[in-house]
Structure 1
């Protein structure tokens, strides 16, 4: 770590001409060899003083997009951040890299404030983090004016920019006042950054901040490592929650709507032996800070919290997020569930669907003083309910909400892994869309269904919609049937809906294809939601799990000694690779992903000693990268049942439907059957062309975990086909 003076100053020669390329600057300041997706383009725009709007998912590297340009431009960059914890974490990380950064907030004494203000005016600071309230205060504005006249203001970076919009999930009125910056400093470029923003929110950000012809940078919203599911919230909801917590390893977050519910759940988990703590606005600042710190340092496993917890919390190894109560919007759900798996490892996201919670949310909506805010909130709530009740791929619904297309099934949500049966509803869809057209695309789903079912509501009669040709043609279907169809048409982008709070249906190109008979419509018919935990395809050998537990304990002890969170020592993926390969020399340990020279020198000896001792106790040898580990296990009746259905000619998807199991479970059965030498033809399951590519990857990388093979192959290859080809490779190797 570079030792900085107390005022945070660094040598002033930070002009971008000192670096022949942005990559050299990146390596010099942050130690990275290359940029992540879209980072370079954003940085180039900022260096050219162009306004920009950046939408990158959590963990995508938004901060670097303003931090690196700040070091290459003359003057100070002001970063508007809504949370004290967020700005303190960022400043600490920057100072660890030898970068002159500071913050001004209420946690500082008057003396500290004056010292930092003096350092700013002397040009010793490159990045200043500040809350919007302080930035716009009468006390700070004169200082900002002096900075502009002396040191210069390089840029304004508005972090968590969705707070500007009342269409966003975390609207903050003070953010709207930030347009003052553009009015007072029209030549200073502005960079707005957020992890979540629909098209409507993006438009609002541009309008409210008065961005001038901004460069728009949007990366994919798809978090492939997250598994999404919805469970019904029964009478024994807590028992259901406890089972879920016990099912998952690692740390997790449980979100509740009320402070009372947070305290209740945290206490009951503690009584049942789960290390859990509460977090909500009713606790003192000191208590919240203490609980948050203990969670980040893995002193407790579960944080039970209101949605006040999570923004800006830099804990990459959260393995599960549970919404015990219904989230308020799809945007907030995406943001809150996205706090799981920021390290890229697999994580689990669960929503409990309780219809009593809907009434609670509606009560909270009714307390909003602004009728427009109420209207927006009700539309957002209906979208959440549609998501929870839908039989369509969860990922497809989420990405469509942000305007991103997603074709096929993700194979990483409950609806894809245990797919419901499909039915052809083309005729019904034509009736529905025809009614939308007859109503001149001016009404929402409820009114359209009322017309189709021949309702006698006064409003409908006043509009003379009982005279339409589509009036009453849908009496043969229930209200729920038509709602199912309407939701499915929306999720599949076969009809559009306005997002201004009024939910008016609009026909699109696909709608007219359906009406002309050029496009068929298939609807997934949902099965009753089940709370039963399905079969698992986890085949981690017992010795790997045992060693992984010991390595996590060692990591925790070292982290506590240094006063840092455990993930700073090693990421979970590195520990898992150690447990799988069992390196017992420093040379072998250096080959582990995430082990650089510094970590090798700092931790190599203590970790290899722990691994050596474990191997001696269990009479184990190291697992080299290309060693073949037999995964053949005794076949059970469930595997033989799958084999019988396969021999009858059923596809894996048809077997999954027939047996009521997840498709991933059936793929696992078939993989075990292949490894055991049973008559399962791989060519029926995976095309020869794709087999060849996967086989080449295995030959290149060795017998690596599925996740690492898929990262090498790319997202066009799914886990099921990789698992099947790998099983055939194992079987062939055993024959050799």
Structure 2
């Protein structure tokens, strides 16, 4: 069978928004997503860079539904596959994975389903994809149902310059050779220019469309705190501020992870450790308990996180120094994937450098050591810098922050005091010049401090005028100054693994005394910054109470279903419910994240919970955004073009009894359900057009009075109408009238 990945514009493009809402519950695309999806449907190779939480997965999951045949998704971790497949299946999408966690029988069953065309997305690891047994299976799938797309997730693993290099990824070009017409989509959240070029070359992408989204995550607050004897108390204070919030704490070693998690538990904070020294069963259990909100805090090495899609992590805390900026960006980016405010805090001590340098010396390859040391220097510069944290991170990926102050990092919100270091900067830059811009920072500092090294003697640098003129400063102080010059763009560094320092125009302005150099007083010596971290986007008191009520309901449902709570709904959906308080199926359909599957599964239980809570605390219902005009002059407020879904099985049973002439109370008694549940069924059936005559539920004269009150108030909220009409009218009567006019509008 020939490849048929491309979909004509007439067939594919007009469906996009409808498919997006039906399967993913989103009303619109995020920036860049639609263009990428359109390119996929036209069979174009692509390289996609989007930050964590930016919506990469949707760019291949959605077109996979429209394309003929099977989409193969290359994914590096079992946890990552399982998480994504669970979410897809929960949205009614035919997806599965094949990996080592399956029994031979389970694997055969899934492979047969793919061969029979019953699967749209198949997740595999690169090792399995390239195995002698799996490639012939792909040949059969291609012959029977066709292959439509090769999606390569975590594509930075292709490059040895990436922070998670995996040699197997470099062999994926074999798949491109085997299926030369198969379009490929390479996706990653982090990649420098060098890594991007490596991906394009290694995967042999043909005339690719390259999409580079902004690496800026404006919802994340970045802060570096001095690490000292009271830092543990600060950490505990941070955790107790949000006792139920999901938090990841990263440490460098297994020993640190175990020690910190045990100490937190002794102090009443529920925490679990995660590191490579635990058994596979222990790691899986700890990860599962964290994802399912059984435990709020996970203390981990960098072994944790790559396969985690948990959207509601409210803080990522690095209690020890990360190894490189790229890894730090990805690890801290596991916070706030739901676009809500989150904190990224690094506890920094210059002494942590020695621990990382020890790990670097364990690398067998000299080139790898050079790269790692250069990356460590960049992390140290980030931690000690007084410039905007966000600006430094974006600059690392070749992006420029367009505003002067990000207003969401410690350096922008609470700048450290500065001191004039112009004289020392001139000495440093002069030494770089006299060494002919051929050496790295360590050698320059050795010359300044008058060291007697073999390299200095070999090059005759003990004869330079700058030799020994910097003995008044420690090595650490010179390193801090050198990194400050780099971040202020007053000095440059080669990017090929050899940390060679180069002068630029800014350097010469300092040397000519045309520019002063201001450097922050070291964070360990400055006044501790103990203010609350970053702006907090809080709900009002009433909405916050309902939000917590809905979180508890979500947890019960998730535990019953055996899925993570965010598999039911993410926090963003619950927050919208708490603020808008939907009171009907039509209103519930407008909540972000509610697609057709979730509308059928959850609208009744959540609207019932919202209604009960609002009645108990005397809160107004139906505070939906005004998407239309007042009732009587056009579409009812809050209505959309959403077509009500077909009645569920339980609603159909209620409908059958209603059509037999039973009253609401009689139906409730016969079905052994609450009258409120039956009323909810009837309202949904009215909206769906299954019940068109309200006379048995609401008398015509009362119907007219209720309708007139809706028009008078210009709102569809139930509570104001009930307050206007008085207690002689029931909430159910008002709901039924509104439901009928939802349908007719």
* TM-score clears 0.5: yes
TM-superposed deviation, 1:25: 4.8
Report what 2:135 is aligned to: 141
Contact 1:393/1:409 (<8 A) preserved: yes
Kindly indicate whether the alpha-carbon contact (under 8 Å) linking 2:12 and 2:41 is maintained by their aligned counterparts in 1.
no
Q: 1:213 to 1:450 in 2, by over 3 A?
A: farther
Out of 85, 107, 124, the position equivalent to 2:118 is: 124
Cα distance in 2 for residues equivalent to 1:592 and 1:161 = 35
CA distance in 2 between partners of 1:558 and 1:155 (Å)? 35
The change in CA–CA distance for 1:573 and 1:54 in structure 2 (over 3 A counts) is closer
Distance verdict in 2 for CA 1:370–1:271, change over 3 Å: same
> TM-score of the superposition, structure 2-length normalised?
0.73
Distance 1:522 1:207, change over 3 A: same
Structure 1 CA distance for aligned equivalents of residues 341 and 472 of structure 2: 45
- Indicate the residue corresponding to 2:411 in structure 1: 415
Check the 8 A contact 1:19/1:25 in 2, yes or no: no
Query: Separation in 2 of the partners of 1:432 and 1:120?
Result: 64
- Partners of 1:624 and 1:205 lie apart in 2 by 48
Q: What is the DSSP-based 3-state SS (H/G/I as helix, E as strand, rest coil) of the residue aligned with 1:19?
A: helix
1:171-191 deviation per Cα after TM superposition (whole angstroms, max 9, x unaligned): 222222222223333332222
Partner Cα distance (1:576, 1:33) in 2: 16
Distance 1:136 1:568, change over 3 A: closer
1:562-617 CA distance string (max 9 Å, x none)? 444333455435555666x69596699869954869355441121231233235xx
Q: Paired residue for 2:200, among 197, 206, 214?
A: 206
CA distance in 2 between counterparts of 1:95 and 1:555 reads 18
TM-score by length of 1: 0.74
Q: Which has the higher contact order (CA 8 A, sep 6+)?
A: 2
- Residue 546 of structure 1 deviates from its aligned partner by 5.3
Question: Does the C-alpha gap of structure 1 residues 234 and 53 become closer, same or farther in structure 2, counting only changes over 3 Å?
Answer: same
Count matched residues. 610
User: 103, 109, 134: which one pairs with 1:109?
Assistant: 103
Q: 3-state DSSP class of the match of 2:217? A: coil
Q: Kindly indicate whether residue 609 of structure 2 is the aligned counterpart of residue 612 of structure 1.
A: no
Distance 1:376 1:230 in 2: 24
Counterpart CA distance in 2 for 1:462 and 1:446 is 16
- Whether the 8 Å CA contact 2:116–2:145 is kept in 1: the answer is yes
Report what 1:164 is aligned to.
Answer: 158
**1:57 matches 2:51:** yes
Pick closer, same or farther for the CA change 1:535–1:72 going to 2, 3 Å.
closer
Could you say if the C-alpha distance between residues 344 and 268 of structure 1 is closer, same or farther in structure 2, counting changes exceeding 3 Å? same
Deviation at 1:44, TM superposition (A): 3.2
Give the Cα separation in 2 of the matches to 1:13 and 1:403. 33
Q: Residue 77 of structure 1: SS of its match in structure 2?
A: strand
Give distance in 1, aligned partners of 2:8 and 2:467.
71
TM-aligned CA distance change 1:548 to 1:77, over 3 Å: closer
Q: Check the 8 A contact 1:51/1:191 in 2, yes or no.
A: yes
Q: Partners of 2:589 and 2:484 in 1: how far apart?
A: 48
Confirm or deny: 8 A CA contact 1:584 1:609 kept in the other structure. Answer: no
State the 1:30 CA deviation.
Answer: 3.8
* Structure 1 residues 24 and 298: alpha-carbon distance in aligned structure 2, compared to 1, 3 A threshold: closer
Q: Is the 8 A contact 2:382 2:392 kept in 1?
A: yes
- Residue 265 (structure 1) aligned with residue 260 (structure 2): yes
Query: Is the Cα contact below 8 Å between 2:24 and 2:594 reproduced in 1?
Result: no
Q: Distance between the aligned counterparts of 1:75 and 1:587, measured in 2?
A: 34
From the superposition, tell whether residues 596 and 46 of structure 1 become closer, same or farther in structure 2 (CA, over 3 Å).
closer
2:288 corresponds to which residue?
293
Matches within 5 A, 1:191-270: 191-235=185-229, 238-249=232-243, 250-270=245-265
- The superposition leaves residues 329-363 of structure 1 with CA deviations (integer Å, 9 ceiling, x where unpaired) of 11111111111111111111222224454333223
Aligned partner (choices 8, 12, 15) of residue 19 of structure 1: 12
Kindly indicate whether residue 182 of structure 2 is the aligned counterpart of residue 183 of structure 1: no
Q: 1:268-321, CA deviations, whole angstroms, 9 ceiling, x for partnerless residues?
A: 322322222222233333332222222122111111222222112121111111
SS of 1:384 mapped into structure 2: helix
Q: Distance in 2 between matches of 1:453 and 1:142?
A: 65
Structure 1 gap segments, 5+ residues each: 1-11, 627-736
Measured at CA, do residues 375 and 299 of structure 1 come closer, stay the same or move farther in structure 2, by a change above 3 Å? same
Counterpart of 1:91 (choices 72, 85, 90) is 85
Distance 1:28 1:509, change over 3 A: farther
Q: Deviations over 1:489-516 (max 9, x none)?
A: 3223343322222111234455556567
Instruction: Indicate conservation of the 8 Å contact 2:24/2:91, yes or no.
Output: yes
> CA contact under 8 A between 2:95 and 2:120: conserved in structure 1?
yes
Find the aligned partners of 1:75 and 1:585 in 2 and give their Cα distance: 41
CA contact (8 A) 1:396 1:491 kept: no
Range with bigger deviation, 251-260 or 446-455: 446-455
Gaps of 5+ in 2: 626-745
Distance 2:567 2:145 in 1: 35
Q: Which residue of 1 aligns with 2:459?
A: 463
**C-alpha contact (below 8 Å) 2:546/2:610 kept by paired residues:** no
- For residue 488 of structure 1, report the CA deviation from its aligned partner: 2.0
The structure with the largest alpha-carbon Rg is 2
Q: Please give the residue correspondences for 1:483-632 in structure 2 after superposition, counting only pairs within 5 Å.
A: 483-508=479-504, 510-511=506-507, 521-527=517-523, 528=525, 533-534=530-531, 548-573=547-572, 575-576=574-575, 594=592, 598=599, 600-615=603-618
Give the 3 Å change call, closer, same or farther, for CA 204–273 of structure 1 in structure 2. same
What displacement does 1:553 show?
A: 3.1
8 Å Cα contact 2:6/2:43 also seen in 1: no
Change (3 A) 1:577 1:119: closer
Q: Is 1:232–1:531's contact at 8 Å kept on the other side of the alignment?
A: yes
CA displacement at 1:413 relative to structure 2: 1.9
The corresponding residue for 1:78 is 72
Q: Is the 1:15–1:71 contact (alpha carbons within 8 Å) kept by the matching residues of 2?
A: no
Gap change, CA 1:291 and 1:16, over 3 Å in 2: farther
1:419 deviation in Å? 0.5
Q: Is the 1:584–1:612 Cα contact (8 Å) retained in structure 2?
A: no
Q: Is the 8 A contact 1:91 1:103 kept in 2?
A: yes
CA shift digits 1:206-252 (9 cap, x unpaired): 23223334322111111111122222333455444323322334111
Is the Cα–Cα contact under 8 Å of residues 75 and 126 in structure 1 kept in the other structure? yes
Compared with structure 1, are the counterparts of its residues 95 and 540 closer, same or farther at alpha carbon in structure 2 (3 Å cutoff)? closer
Q: Deviations over 1:78-116 (max 9, x none)?
A: 211011121122223323334332221112222222222
Q: Helix, strand or coil for the counterpart of 2:442? A: helix
Q: CA–CA distance in 1 between the matches of 2:425 and 2:248?
A: 40
Task: Determine whether 1:347 maps to 2:342.
Answer: yes
Q: Give secondary structure in 2 for the equivalent of 1:358.
A: helix
> Which whole-Å deviations, capped at 9, do the CAs of 1:136-168 have from their partners, x for residues lacking one?
112212223333444333232211111122222
Which has the larger displacement, 253-262 or 596-605? Answer: 596-605
Q: Match for 2:39 among 42, 45, 58? A: 45
Provide the C-alpha distance between the structure 2 equivalents of 1:136 and 1:582, rounded to a whole number of angstroms.
50
Decide whether the 8 Å contact of 2:573 with 2:591 is kept in 1: yes
Change (3 A) 1:182 1:549: closer
